[in-house]
Structure 1
Amino acid sequence: MLSGKVFPQSSLIPKVSVLPNANPIPVSFVTVKEWRIRGKNDRWHNVSSSCLKSSLESIVTPESHPVLAQNRVNILSEALPFIQKFRGKTIVVKYGGAAMKSEALQASVISDLVLLSCVGLRIIFVHGGGPEINQLLGRLGLKPNFVNGLRVTDAATMEVVSMVLVGKVNKHLVALINKAGATAVGLCGIDGHLLTARPSPNSDQLGFVGDIASVDPSILRPLIDNNHIPVIASVAADKTGQPYNINADTAAGELAAALSAEKLILLTDVAGILEDRDDPSSLVKEIDIKGVKRMMDDGKIAGGMIPKVNCCVRSLAQGVRTASIIDGRLQHSLLLEILTDQGAGTMITG
């Protein structure tokens, strides 16, 4: 467990005592612009650090101050066991919620993806785009409608969904990842028969909202083998070519299962699974499928968390090693989840 005092600032940097005669302090990720290092004779020394553009830069950017340079070396050393554990493994990340709406959080997620790709993780990035869809519907004079949290998708709405997710959001994310130094390739479920859809059982109410009938990940394998990052919009088609709006959590879970992924990660707007829904401090850090089902039976998991948990349970049942629901409101939550044992939400195991 990486530990250390957290100061309420904005830039991800490590905290470690490295001055002569100082007591060792475990390395941790802390968010500070001004941070302190305890030196000899119990004196405190203030060290300024500018806000860095990405998680990668925050670790490897050269610094003139020898202490800061040593800290970066130390934190890379601390991350080594986690890099070794996940190097070469497939990680499926579903992106949405607050992390998608905030430009600062979006930059954090993109830089995390690039860093993880650089150290050898095979990343699959699945996204939705509900707010952007609502914005365009409003500009076209169409009112969004929902039933049990699912978007009612008639023919006109389906056209907007395809335009926004495949044509706008997907290419925007690809451009951001490419700009950050990795190589991304934009796809949707229709490409290469990646996802084949079927009508939802409630299609009479929901219209062109689909479930996933089958997954063919063959188009993804050469991409991830060449260290590219597939960016996948949650739109699919049935065997007749009719497009369907697919829940992005569901798409990510089914892709993770088809790829025998090491880990499925869902970025959300909450801390994770809470023992008490009214108490944010009651976060459940790790739980197995039996424990999740017991919490659902007790009514502790309800509302919008139910489909996310069901998605995780289904992927685990199909061979995914672990599934995590993490807090996308935290900067660098992906790094916290993968490169530390502290995590950034709830991890569900089989």
Structure 2
Amino acid sequence: METKIKIADILLDSLPFIRAFRKKVVVIKYGGAAQINPKLKEQFAKDIVMMYMLGIKPIIVHGGGRNISKMLDDLGLESEFVNGHRVSSAESMPIIEMVLCGNINKELSAFLNYHGVKAVGISGKDAGSFEAAQKDGGKLGYTGEITQVDTTLLATLLQNGFVPVIAPIAGSSQAHHLGYNINADSVACEIAKALNAFKVIFLTDTKGVLDKNNQLFSTLNIEKIEKLKKDGVITGGMLPKIDACISCVQNGVQKVHIIDGRVEHSLLLELFTSAGIGTEIVL
């Protein structure tokens, strides 16, 4: 009986969140172990189904750096990075697009469809959904930064009950262009801003933002973040993710969450429980 009462308490705890999030757009950056581990992939799909059935409008943006590096290595092409950003050469760009759009994107879309979600895989090239220009003056080749977002296709898909699954490949304003490889965190942020999304959630391989003693910050605002950056607490690969979070909340997104994708059902735990499991970023 105690177990049944506990289950009822959990359901009641989630009710205010279900009510608040219904019909809202939530952008999810899907990456790390959650994208690789078969069990975590299964749990992620079930979390998306639950969100979908509760009336939330999820949009999924995925990366694929490990898969790209493996394919380039198999083909005898070297992976080069500058300050953590991949250099996307003219030779490697078609391979990058093939892995992201033709492999990962369609596999994920099919997997979600199998579990009961009407998922549609696209990239920025579809309907001109987002365009880009060279990042850092061309030092990174065809790695780019988004310059324009057109939400027409995304809005149409959401209105008709589809879940967009987005590969981070952008089109160009130039004809016959190879396109651009974009950081998936940046794509999630720019899509969220353009759609005035309710939330953005980054699935990572860390608990969230940690202090000097590796203790989790449950909530951070911009003022606190700037102090942590100045004190050297937030460094390395977390910096661009945090900067994307700040850009989101400064441009209409209510909250951004950085959560541990290695935890089973991490999305549901963060969205529908009072305690949550990660770090939420607010103004």
TM-score range with shorter-chain normalisation? over 0.9
TM-score, normalised on structure 2?
0.96
Letter in 1 for 2:116: G
Percent sequence identity over matched residues? 42
Tell me which protein shows more helix as a share of its residues: 2
Unaligned 5+ runs, structure 1:
1-17, 20-36, 38-66
The alpha carbon displacement at 1:78 in A equals 2.9
1:44-102 deviations in Å (ceiling 9; x for gaps): xxxxxxxxxxxxxxxxxxxxxxx5xx765554333211100100111000011111111
Letter in 2 for 1:261: A
1:286-341 deviations in Å (ceiling 9; x for gaps): 01111111111111100000000000001111111111111111111100111112
Match of 1:130 in 2: 65
Distance in 2 (CA, whole Å) between partners of 1:105 and 1:266 is: 15
Give runs of aligned pairs for residues 210-289 of structure 1, distance below 5 A.
210-241=144-175, 242=177, 243-276=179-212, 279-280=213-214, 282-289=215-222
Pairs aligned (count): 281
Give runs of aligned pairs for residues 54-203 of structure 1, distance below 5 A.
67=4, 74-203=9-138
1:244-275 deviations in Å (ceiling 9; x for gaps): 00000000000000010110111111111111
Distance in 1 (CA, whole Å) between partners of 2:158 and 2:121 is: 13
1:179-235 deviations in Å (ceiling 9; x for gaps): 00110001001111111111112413x110000001111111121112211000000
Distance in 2 (CA, whole Å) between partners of 1:226 and 1:80 is: 25
Higher relative contact order (CA 8 A, sep 6+): 2
List 4+ stretches of structure 1 deviating above 6 A: none
TM-score, normalised on structure 1?
0.78
Contact 1:334 1:344 in 2 (8 A): no
1:132-188 deviations in Å (ceiling 9; x for gaps): 111111111112111111111101211111000000100000001000011000100
Unaligned 5+ runs, structure 2:
none
Letter in 2 for 1:230: P
Return the index of the structure with the highest Cα Rg. 1
Distance in 2 (CA, whole Å) between partners of 1:104 and 1:236 is: 30
Distance in 1 (CA, whole Å) between partners of 2:46 and 2:122 is: 20
Distance in 2 (CA, whole Å) between partners of 1:115 and 1:179 is: 14
